[in-house]
């Protein structure tokens, strides 16, 4: 059974006005910026579903751990993601009546599928330039050494070349 599909018919019909939900489920990997983002933990969602004038609202918190690639040293690292979810779900006949600025996901046959909404939120909350650590030294652009592991003299040599060029300039 897919834990992200929820029967909300009693909420739409008004038999219930709100419901607390707690879901833990595995997501398939998603594509982001040309790379595949893998999940290394199940996703956990704690939220409240409430009946709204047109459809439902979902408000809560999401926790999941993803595997990202450092934009400086290119190594993979685990990144815990935690963010708030605030989504709207609407009946198909109401989707077109919503104001343009409201993005809603469909309620289909009395059910909602949280997976597309959650995946969209994950993408929005991923760091634009992931870093394995704030002070990652990256890879040397000249010799390709991982500067977190070993140091090289490329930068120093480049400085020396620039320095001697400057010195020559001064001498002439
Ligand atoms: Zn790094
Ligand atoms: Zn180097």
DSSP conformation class of 84: E
- Pick 94 or 131 by higher pLDDT: 131
Q: Determine the pLDDT at residue 27.
A: 93
The percent of residues above 90 in pLDDT, for the chain, comes to 72
C-alpha 146 to ligand 1 mean position (Å): 9
- CA–centroid distance, 157 to ligand 1, in Å, is 23
CA 165 to ligand 2 center in whole angstroms: 20
pLDDT tens-digit map of 112-126: 999 999 999 999 999
Per-residue pLDDT at 38 exceeds 80:
yes
**Percent of the chain predicted with pLDDT > 70:** 100
Give the distance (Å) from ligand 2 centre to CA of residue 159: 12
Query: What's the pLDDT at 80?
Result: 96
Global pTM value: 0.81
Ligand 2: distance of its center to the CA of 7 in Å?
58
Q: Which CA distances in Å does 124 have to 69, 72, 81, 151, 169? A: 17, 21, 11, 36, 51
Residue 172 pLDDT exceeds 80: no
As a whole number, the mean pLDDT across the chain is 91
Q: What is residue 21's predicted lDDT score, i.e. its pLDDT?
A: 97
The confidence band for 101, taking pLDDT boundaries of 50, 70 and 90, is confident
3 state SS of 37? strand
pLDDT digits (tens, 9 = 90+) for 47-62: 999 998 888 999 999 9
Centroid of ligand 2 to alpha carbon of 44 (angstroms)? 43
- Expressed in angstroms and rounded, the spacing between residue 61 Cα and the centre of ligand 1 is 28
Mean pLDDT of 98-114: 90
pLDDT of 157: 78
pLDDT tens per residue across span 143-164: 999 999 999 988 777 777 777 8
- What pLDDT, on a 0 to 100 scale, did the predictor assign at position 168? 81
Cα of 117 to ligand 1 centre, how many Å?
30
Q: Which ligand is nearest to the CA of 133?
A: 1
Nearest ligand, measured from the Cα of 137: 1
């Amino acid at each position: 059974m897919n834990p992200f599909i929820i029967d909300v018919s009693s909420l739409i019909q008004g038999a219930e006005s709100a419901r607390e939900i707690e879901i833990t489920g595995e997501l398939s990997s998603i594509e982001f910026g040309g790379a595949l983002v893998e999940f290394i933990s199940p996703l956990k969602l704690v939220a409240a579903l409430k009946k709204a004038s047109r459809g439902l609202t979902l408000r809560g918190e999401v926790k999941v751990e993803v595997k990202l690639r450092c934009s400086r040293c290119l190594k993979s690292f685990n990144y815990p993601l935690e963010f708030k979810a605030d989504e709207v779900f609407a009946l198909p006949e109401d989707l077109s009546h919503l104001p343009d600025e409201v993005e809603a996901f469909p309620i289909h046959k009395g059910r909602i599928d949280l997976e597309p909404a959650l995946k969209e939120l994950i993408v929005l909350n991923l760091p634009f330039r992931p870093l394995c650590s704030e002070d990652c030294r990256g890879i040397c652009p000249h010799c390709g050494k991982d500067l977190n592991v070993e140091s090289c003299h490329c930068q120093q040599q480049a400085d020396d070349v620039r320095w001697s060029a400057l010195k020559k300039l001064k001498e002439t």
